[in-house]
Structure 1
Amino acid sequence: MKPWKLLTILLMAAVLTACATGPRRVSEPAASIQQLSVGADGAWALELRLQNYSSIPMRFESVRLELSVGGESAGVLEIAPALTVGPESADIVEVALQPSAQGRLQAADALAAGRRLTYRIEGTLRAAPDDRGSARDYKVRHESALSPVPGLPGVMR
């Protein structure tokens, strides 16, 4: 192989390696409710989506969110998932909740009427870059709505 071809190949490899190791970006994570299932006993099983917008994996250590549905306080979602979410990815954690009477009534009314249920979560996510130990609290506030799932009684997405 001619020396200039070998030099060109090595130079291209160096450029590609430099491009692969871009700047590390740590962004605020987010949370939302992906699914709410109402049990026969009135308890709720929630699928909470934890979103990592960072360019590196983030370790979610704790979650504390106040949940309101239909404008009424429903309870507090509090878990310690010890979950690592890859860069610019999301994962789901399950959270059990005994909702307040007002929250239970709002969900039952929405399910019976086949209408959407608005919700708001507000609180903190404690997370850290996976390769470092320093966790910090991130403020979270998210508003959205869940709709009944046809064919799945008691389930809203």
Structure 2
Amino acid sequence: MAKFGRLVASATFLLVTLAACGGGPVKRVSEPAAGIQQLTVRADGQWSVDLRIDNFSSVPMRFDAASLVLTIGGENAGTLAANPGLTIGPESADVATLTLAPSSAARITVADALSNRRELAYTLKGTLDAGPEGEKSRQYRIDRSSALNPAPGLPGVLR
């Protein structure tokens, strides 16, 4: 009887071990996120916007296109549009630097926030096109609200 018990225990252990090895890593594709890491006012009046893109998937994702309407301090600044062609590793983030010619109202709002050293709320609404490496991309909706603050010692920079 003890021999039979050991045989059943050994067989059970073997089946459990094989089942655990069966599928390999799970491929999980999650919605990405985007936010402004830094906004720099250039000498020519345009803005350099460092767009941080977060890949929450368990596989590398290729980000093919971005079209995001930027509202800052309640003013429509314009659309951040680019084809970054950026591949971001699993559960990682990277930055795409985009140039924007902002609206006059947004330009004044940012200048005021910089001169008065105050926080400035912003929203990004639009889409990111992304997909796993080697597969077709799909469109993800982005709706992000956050705030930027003047960077100490860096004139014309909000973070």
Indicate the TM-score class for this superposition, using the shorter chain for normalisation: 0.7 to 0.9
The RMSD of aligned alpha carbons is 1.7
Equivalence map 1:66-81=2 (5 Å) = 66-81=69-84
Q: Say which of 77, 87, 90 aligns to 2:90.
A: 87
* Ranges in structure 1 where 5+ consecutive residues have no aligned partner: 1-10
Alignment of 1:5-154 (within 5 A): 18=21, 21-132=24-135, 134-154=136-156
Deviation of 1:19 after TM superposition, in Å, equals: 8.6
Measure how far apart 1:27 and its partner are: 0.2
User: Measured at CA, do residues 44 and 142 of structure 1 come closer, stay the same or move farther in structure 2, by a change above 3 Å?
Assistant: same
Letter in 2 for 1:152: L
* SS in structure 2 of the partner of residue 123 of structure 1: strand
1:7 — aligned with what? none
TM-score (norm. length: structure 2): 0.85
Q: 1:155 is matched with which residue: 140, 147, 157? A: 157
SS of alignment partner, residue 49 of structure 1: strand
Report the secondary structure of 2:90's partner residue: coil
| One-letter identity of the residue aligned with 2:55 | N
Q: Percent identity?
A: 50
